Chains A and B, each alone.
Chain A
């Protein structure tokens, strides 16, 4: 430790000494004995005094208020879900249809959490209850409200599992779905589960993935934060901030949510074993490095990441490379880094070779144009609905605020620089330069940086000190409310197109059941639930994502634009045009095509030769097309 660091440690605001330079020795004077690591970071005598001192009247009031507010918030939240007019969702999705009671419940919940934080004697069970209720309120609300699974990509993943089961593994003729053949871990895990239980489909439990995935993340988050500090207020504040800022929405039924849990577990196990960990060492005689058995377990987790998702192994490699830089974490991070590199290279050179070979050109191109990767996720919003433009700015504002506050936290709270968390927060940045990842890299980088960034923000907002200072803790209430408010813009703002009715599902089932192999299925956007079922048997065209020339033709004459893709359809291989409510909503909300295209197309199709309306249930219309014989 440098002299400057020593001075910083002595005079700075280090809560419970956190991680102190190169060794645990310097941390010892401020660390309570092993087994009492739930302290808040003040010296032991102070802690004993405040723990045993009787509460003031206002303190007791706050404690009881915190205990009343939690169940009250749950009741209000559940009551608020009784009658939500989902059919009125437009530009701002759920935001504009959730009743005031929902927002009252959210506001009360946040207030109750702040009150609970002000008392250091609040039992962890209450804080856990608050966080789990926040998760339920944010992530179980759509599940409880919607009649069926939300989000087209979740439906797509159900289709992949079905195809894996039908084909016993690799799916032939997968076309754009072939990437799932190369990283099949998540899908084959669920295929195994469905086959062994005899369940027909994962749709029944897939709806609950967002709340469950977020609840599971609580364990690694707590382990990481508690390895860094004994300040419970800081730990739980960071947890709350993480969930209040995690707007990216990668927690649905998808390989990335599974791989992210594995990633976070590996990081948590590493932080727990840092020589400077604030938690009691699981193996006190081992100075550093992994116990062999645990390292084997970590390698198994890394292998599961590598076979499940293309991006997460790269994030893991980047994180471990960063954590290998400082000497204090090198002996833990380096072996994981080597394992991750070897396993990823082996997988990419064998099973995923076809995908890597095809995409290596794109990768090299992106290396030479890193600025495009950074900006590619921010869609042009020229034709988007007004609410979406606002939403986009709120998303960006929240992300920028987290970045700025985290940076400020690192600069102002100097002790955080010795924790490894700034390195973890910066780890996704190199990936921005090498892979656009379908235009999503910026958001994915935000997600992987957020666990560490949330702690740095919390360190800035909740400085350690005398825990009897109530007002500084309550002062973060507006900030937490603002974070929650910004989060729901990003998380709920596009629900108009992510939510489906049972009629839309029925229409898709009709098409899949009636379309012979080799048929062409045409939609305006991807927002049709279950239409990807049997994807290897059909050709799928999504009109809004074609070349600009085709799109221009589509806008001028929708019928001619469609016919250009399906001309030559026969009785044996007909084409189906599927128009649904959610697709209309997508066009209106995102402006991918002018919103009137759907209506004009429907009008044209009704009278066009070769097109027959074969299904109409109010939320969806299906046309069958066979090219008429020439006159």
Chain B
């Protein structure tokens, strides 16, 4: 699980790195798409624990986890885009930096001391 969190924390920055590739390069499109569709939502899911364990468990919990990952990620991306456009400061780089920072914070949030116990408590009850 710790590798998943560290991977999530790095994912946004890797997507940002892919922007050095030419416009519409397949690797760039794949990296950014995968990041936007999965990473912010999954990081939020792990941090907030809204749907129980992300892997395993009851099929409904898995389905709910996948749904929340996608939809919450898109919602977060939408709000970041709207905030940057409304502020008149939108650039592609800034939007990815904002989402990468958010994803890193959310992914690393649960690694802090004591988080494991509290999480276990929430999970159990």
Chain A residues with CB under 8 Å of B58's CB are 34-35, 37, 279-280
Instruction: Say if the beta carbon of B11 comes within 8 Å of chain A.
Output: no
Instruction: Say if the beta carbon of A193 comes within 8 Å of chain B.
Output: yes
Nearest B residue (CB) for A304: B75
Instruction: Say if the beta carbon of A195 comes within 8 Å of chain B.
Output: yes
Instruction: Say if the beta carbon of A180 comes within 8 Å of chain B.
Output: no
Chain A residues with CB under 8 Å of B50's CB are 269, 291, 293-294, 297
Instruction: Say if the beta carbon of A390 comes within 8 Å of chain B.
Output: no
Total interface residues on B, CB under 8 Å, equals 53
- Cα–Cα, bound, A220→B29 (Å): 28
Give the shortest distance, in Å, between B52 (CB) and chain A (any CB): 5
Chain B residues with CB under 8 Å of A220's CB are 67
* Contact (Cβ within 8 A) B48 A199: no
* Contact (Cβ within 8 A) A279 B60: yes
Nearest A residue (CB) for B33: A197
Instruction: Write the residues of chain B forming the contact surface with A, with a CB cutoff of 8 angstroms.
Output: 15, 19, 21-25, 28-29, 32-33, 36, 44-45, 47-52, 58-61, 63-64, 66-68, 70-72, 74-82, 84-86, 88, 90-92, 95-96, 122, 124-125
* Contact (Cβ within 8 A) A188 B81: yes
Which of A258, A269, A283 is within 8 Å of B64, CB to CB?
A269
- Cα–Cα, bound, A111→B47 (Å): 45
Tell whether A198 pairs with B71 under 8 Å between CB atoms, given A184-B85, A291-B122, A300-B79: no
Going nearest first, the 3 A-B pairs with the smallest beta carbon separation are A198-B23, A293-B48, A285-B125
* Contact (Cβ within 8 A) A297 B63: no
* Contact (Cβ within 8 A) A262 B71: yes
* Contact (Cβ within 8 A) A169 B75: no
Tell whether A191 pairs with B81 under 8 Å between CB atoms, given A198-B22, A223-B64, A296-B48: yes
Instruction: Say if the beta carbon of A629 comes within 8 Å of chain B.
Output: no
- Cα–Cα, bound, A170→B87 (Å): 11
Which of A196, A269, A279, A283 is within 8 Å of B32, CB to CB?
A196
Instruction: Say if the beta carbon of A186 comes within 8 Å of chain B.
Output: yes
Q: Digit string of A215-226 for contact with B (CB within 8 Å is 1, else 0)?
A: 010011011001
Instruction: Say if the beta carbon of A206 comes within 8 Å of chain B.
Output: no
Instruction: Write the residues of chain A forming the contact surface with B, with a CB cutoff of 8 angstroms.
Output: 34-35, 37-38, 124, 164, 168-170, 184-186, 188-189, 191-193, 195-200, 216, 219-220, 222-223, 226, 258, 261-262, 265, 268-269, 272, 279-280, 282-286, 291, 293-294, 296-297, 300-301, 303-304, 307-308, 351
* Contact (Cβ within 8 A) B78 A188: yes
Chain A residues with CB under 8 Å of B21's CB are 198
Chain A residues with CB under 8 Å of B60's CB are 37, 222-223, 226, 272, 279-280
* Contact (Cβ within 8 A) A197 B32: yes
Chain A residues with CB under 8 Å of B72's CB are 297, 300-301
Nearest B residue (CB) for A165: B90
Give the shortest distance, in Å, between A498 (CB) and chain B (any CB): 26
Nearest A residue (CB) for B61: A282
Give the shortest distance, in Å, between B22 (CB) and chain A (any CB): 7
Chain A residues with CB under 8 Å of B32's CB are 193, 196-197
